[in-house]
Amino acid sequence: MDKQEAKVRIEKLRSKINDLNYKYFVLDESEVNESVRDSLKKELIALETEYPELITPESPTQRVGSALSAKFKKIVHKTRKWSLQDVFSASEIGEWFERIKRFAPNEQYDFLTELKIDGLNITLWYEEGRLVKALTRGNGVEGEDVTHAVRAIESVPLELREKVTIDVGGEVYMPKKSLEKLNERSEEKFANPRNAAAGSVRQLDPKITADRDLDMLFYEIGANNLPKQPETQEALMQTLKRLGLKTDTHFKYHDNIESVIKFCKSWAEKRDSLPYEIDGIVIKVNSLETHKKLGFTAKAPRYAVAYKFPAEQVTSKVLDIIVQVGRTGALTPVAVLTPTLVAGSTVSRATLHNEDEITRKDIRIGDTVIIQKAGDVIPEVVESLKDLRTGSERKFKFPTACPICGSAVVKPEGEAVARCSNEKCFAVTRESLIHFATAMNIDGLGEKIIDLLIEEGLVKTPVDIFGLGKEDLFGLESFKDKKTENLLRAIEVAKTVMLDKFIFALGIRHVGAQTSGLIGRFLQGRDVPAEYMKPPKTISKEVAQVSMFGDEQVKEEAKDIFPIPAVIYLMKQVDLEELQHIEGMGEKIAQSFYEWFSASENIKMLEGLFEKGVNVLKMPAVKVKEGVTGKVFVLTGTMAGISRAQAKELIVKNGGYVSGSVSAKTDCVVAGEEAGSKLKKAKELGVKVIGEGEFGEMMR
C-alpha cells in the first residue's frame, strides 16, 4: 500500500487496539482473545517500521515496555485405539454428562481428569515384563512399528517392575526446553513440540531419537494378564506407576461435573507454566465397569471426552474469496489470507464453510478478520472486525455456475451446502480419484500424479488406475524406471483390501470410515449364493510381503474373501428401511448409500474393479457364535440382570447387530419386562421373540 493508504490503516489499527486495551485493562472485559490484540499490534509495528514518519507518541507501539524415507512395518493393535470426541466449552461438557446419564441412568458418576499432552500417541507391548513392541496409533486398528526409536527414550522402561504381559498406551512428547535446544542446533526448524516428537520417533536411526531428549507419560491399559484388574481410572493410573511407567502427576479425582469444569478452566489459564505443551483436558468416567456399560459410538468412546482449550486466534486480511469443488460436488468458499502464524503453523487460507456463513458473519474481500484453528486443526474465519473497514471492501457474490465446469449450482431445500449439478464435473472426478487412491493406500499416487494422469487421458475412473501399465507411465514427466516400478507395485498391492476400506474408498456422500465399518460388518454377515462368491485373483508372493496381511492370512485367502459381486448382489436385496435400522446409521447416511448403489454407472464401475482383479476381504470377525453372528437383534423392555448397554455389547462382541426398530428383516427381539410396541410388531411380523433367560443362554 502507498503512504496514504498506510496512514488510514495505521489510524484504524491504533483506534482498535486502544479500544481493546481499554476494555481489557480498565473494564476487565475480553472482547477478543489476547492473541488477536497481539496480532493487530504486530501489523501496526510492521507498518510503522515501513513508514517511520507516521509514528506518533500516542501509538500503542510506543508505550514503555511494549514488545517491538523408508517404510515402517504395520502391525495390528491388540486393543483397538479410539479417538476422543472433542468439547470446547463448559456447556458442551454438561451436554456430554447429560447424554451419558440418559444412556446409563442408574450409575453413580465420578470422574478423573488428565492433562491432554500434545504429543504422539504410542502403544507399548510388554511380555513377561519386557518391552517387545512399540506402535504408533495409526488408524486405530493397525499402527507403525517404531520399537527401535521408542527404546531410545530414557523414561520408557525396557523392563517393568513386575513380570506381566500388558498393552499400555501413552504420549511421547518433547519438553519445551528440548525443542528450543533442538531448533538452535538443527537446520530443520520445528514449529511446535508435537511435530518435533513425531519427527523424532519416525527417525530410522535411533541415535537421532536418543539425542532429542524425548519423554513419555502413560495413561492407558489394554489387553493384560494383571493378577488384579484396576476398577477405576484412578486405580489404573496407580497401577501404571506401580509397574514403573511414568504418569503425569496432575490428574485429579472429582465427585461432580462442576468440579471437572472448574479444573478445565483453571488449566486453560496456567497451561503455559508447564514444561511441556498441553492442548486440553481429558475427562473420563472414573469407574471402568461404567466404561463397559457406556461403550462406544461408531467413532469414539462414550465414557470420555477431550476438552480442548480455546484455539489461538489471530488477525489476518482477506485478499480474496475463492470457491473449491469437492468430491461430492459441494462448493466451499475459502478465504485467501495474508500468511499468518496460527497455533504453530503458517495459514494462508481458511474455510468460510458455505454461503449462509459468509452472509451471517458479513465477511467481505478486504476485511480484517479473526482466524483460528477449529479444534486446533482446520483454519476458519471467526468474525470480521468491521470497525477497521475503509469502504474499499467488496461483498462476495456466490457463483450460480460451477467455477470448474460451468454447470448450474443447486442448493437442495433444507441444506446449507450448494453443489455442482454436473456429476461428471472435472473437480468431482479429480477429488473422487484422490480420495479413492488415499483410502486404498496406493503409495505414490498423490494429487500431482493424479492430475498428470488425468491430463494425459490415462485415468477417468478408479477402474483405470488398475489398468495402468509400464507403457502408460514410463516417459511421463518425472517417471523413470524406479518410479514407474514402485507405483505399479503399489497399485498391485492395493488390489487386496478390507471390505470397510473398500466401501470408504468409493467416496459415497456422508459415508465415512467408521460408518463403512458398520456397513461392512452388516453386509458380510448376510447369506450370499455361491455363484456370487467368485474366487479372488491369486495374491502374489511379492504383494503378500508388502501388504498388511500375514502369510497365514494369505494362505487362507479363499475363505476370507467377500468379492465385489457379493457386495452388488446384497445391495440389490437390501432395502432402504433395513439400512436405516443398522445401529449407528442415520436416515441421511442410509439414503445416500442406497442411492449410490441404485445408479447403474456405479455398479458398472464396481464390476470393472472386479475384472481388474481387485480382491475384497472380509473384516476380521469380532467373534463367531452360532445363532448370533450376522443376525439383527432388537432390544425392548427392561431386563433385571443386565443393562441394555451390556446386552448390546454382548451382541456386538458375538458378531451380531443391534437395530432400534423392528422390521421383517429383524432376526430376533429380546423382550424384557414392560415391553411395548416393538414386541407387538414382532408378533405381527412373526419375528422370533426371546426372554432374558434365553438371551443369556444364547450369549454364553
pLDDT tens, position by position, 85-115? 888 788 899 999 999 999 999 899 999 999 9
Q: How confident is the model at residue 535 (pLDDT cuts 50, 70, 90)?
A: low
Structurally, at CATH architecture level, domain 3-62 sits in Orthogonal Bundle (1.10)
Kindly tell me the burial class for residue 198, based on how many C-beta atoms sit within 10 Å of its own C-beta (0-12, 13-18, 19 or more). middle
Whether residue 302 is predicted with pLDDT greater than 70 in this model: the reply is yes
pLDDT beyond 70 at 599:
yes
Q: Which amino acid is at 320?
A: D
Average pLDDT over residues 453-463: 90
Query: Strand 278-285 and strand 111-117: pairing?
Result: antiparallel
- Using an 8 Å Cβ cutoff, are 169 and 219 in contact? yes
Tell me the three cell numbers of residue 183. 531448533
Q: At what angle do helices 692-699 and 644-653 cross, to 10 degrees?
A: 30
* Sequence-ordered list of residues with C-beta below 8 angstroms from that of 416, at least 6 positions apart, any chain: 353, 354, 355, 356, 357
Superfamily assignment of 313-389+403-410 in CATH?
Answer: Nucleic acid-binding proteins (2.40.50.140)
The pLDDT confidence band at residue 505, using thresholds 50, 70 and 90, is very high
pLDDT at 178 over 50: yes
Catalytic residue chosen out of the listed positions 16, 41, 116, 308: 116
Three-state secondary structure string covering 426-443: HHHHHHHHHHHHHHCCCC
271-275, 328-332, 433-437, 551-555: segment of lowest average pLDDT: 551-555
What is residue 543's predicted lDDT score, i.e. its pLDDT?
40
For 256-272, write each residue's pLDDT tens digit.
999 999 999 888 778 87
Lowest mean pLDDT among 21-30, 49-58, 519-528: 21-30
Distance CA 188, CA 32 (A): 34
For residue 66, what pLDDT is reported? 29
> What average pLDDT score do residues 329-334 get?
90
Q: What percent of the chain has pLDDT over 70?
A: 90
Q: What is the pLDDT at residue 232?
A: 96
- Please give the span between the terminal C-alpha atoms of the chain, in angstroms, as a whole number: 76
Q: Would you place residue 311 in the very low, low, confident or very high pLDDT band (cuts 50, 70, 90)?
A: low
Answer for the pair 209, 152: CB distance below 8 angstroms, yes or no.
yes
Confidence check: pLDDT of 17 > 50: yes
CA-nearest of 632, 631, 629, 644 to 675 is: 644
Q: Is the pLDDT of residue 603 over 90?
A: yes
Q: Has 177 been annotated as catalytic?
A: no
The three-class DSSP label of residue 57 is coil
- Parse the chain into domains and list their residue ranges: 3-62, 82-308, 313-389+403-410, 427-617, 632-699
- Burial track 243-278 (b if 16+ CB lie within 10 A, e otherwise): bebebbeebeebeebeebbebbeebeeebeeeebbb
Q: Which residue has the cell 504395520?
A: 74
Q: What is the mean pLDDT of residues 600-606?
A: 92
Contacts 24+ apart (CB under 8 A), 76-79: 76/141, 76/142, 76/548, 77/123, 77/135, 77/138, 77/140, 77/141, 77/142, 77/143, 77/167, 77/222, 78/125, 78/167, 78/222, 78/223, 79/123, 79/167, 79/222, 79/223
Confidence of residue 584 (pLDDT cuts 50, 70, 90): low
Q: Report pLDDT for 167.
A: 96
Whether the predicted pLDDT of 684 surpasses 90: no
pLDDT at 424 over 70: yes
**Is there a shared CATH topology between the 82-308 domain and the 427-617 domain?**
no
Q: What is the pLDDT of residue 344?
A: 59
Binning pLDDT at 50, 70 and 90, where does residue 61 land? confident
Does pLDDT of 604 surpass 90?
yes
Q: What's the whole-number average pLDDT of the chain?
A: 84
pLDDT for residue 139 is more than 80? no
Query: Is the per-residue pLDDT at 375 higher than 70?
Result: no
Alpha helices in 118-270 (DSSP H): 147-150, 176-185, 193-201, 206-211, 233-243, 257-270
Three cell numbers at 242?
506401580
Hey, how many other C-beta atoms are within 10 angstroms of the C-beta on 132? 12
Confidence bin at 462 (pLDDT 50/70/90): very high
Q: Under CATH, which architecture does the 427-617 domain have?
A: Orthogonal Bundle (1.10)
Q: Which CATH number, 3.40.50.2000, 3.40.50.300, 3.40.50.10190, 2.30.30.90, labels domain 632-699? A: 3.40.50.10190
Residues belonging to the chain: 700
Provide CATH code, domain 82-308: 3.30.470.30
